[in-house]
Amino acid sequence: MNLFWVLYALLANHWCLGDDKDSELCTSAGELPAPDLFLNKTLVSEGETITALCAAPAEVFLTGFFFCKDGAPVSSKKAASQYVQYIVYASPKNAGQYSCGYQQKDAKNQVKISALSVAQNLIVQPRYYDSNVDPGQTIPTYIWILRSSLVLLLLVSAPIITYFMEKCNCSLFGPRN
């Protein structure tokens, strides 16, 4: 029974996490020059879309790109040009350090890996990060306080104004009979 679980764990690890080569992509120093990584935004709110652009040096013939997050591969794409885009949907689990690299096959059909790009930090803020604001509330708290204070002032001042108007026998429409 124990042998079954050991074999199951080994196979599941291989199938779910990929080859050892995949995990080495994001930790290897690489033999080729590093690409450039550009994020269109680095501080985003939850739910936004971010575009990551990985651009390899012009003189390099490449076969594929890969993107890493926090030292682990998250995407790989075949190369059609010297750059590739990767779309990230902002969520708390997608926050982290992003980098990219590329692969090249040499004349002997051996795969060479580039050094990783300089990492870019993606910060994802929760959609409602102010604890004083209710997510369903569209008017800020200070506006509600001011409006409530004004209503209370008018409610309290109406009887006072009426009292003084009766005391002096004044009317807005002329003298009283």
Q: Find the helix or strand (DSSP H, E) in which 87 lies.
A: strand 83-89
CATH code reported for the domain at 22-125: 2.60.40.10
How far is CA 154 from its chain centroid? 46
How do 120-125 and 43-45 pair as beta strands?
parallel
DSSP class of residue 118 equals P
Banded model confidence at residue 50, pLDDT cuts 50, 70, 90: very high
Q: Provide the sign of the torsion angle of the four alpha carbons 28, 33, 39, 43, taken in this order.
A: positive
Average pLDDT, the chain: 79
Rounded to two decimals, the pTM is: 0.59
Report the length, in residues, of the chain. Answer: 177
- Check pLDDT > 60 for residue 4: no
- Domain positions in the chain are 22-125, 134-177
pLDDT in tens, 78-133: 888 888 999 999 999 999 999 999 998 878 888 889 999 999 999 998 876 555 55
Q: Provide the sign of the torsion angle of the four alpha carbons 95, 16, 32, 101, taken in this order.
A: negative
Q: 3-class SS at 114?
A: strand
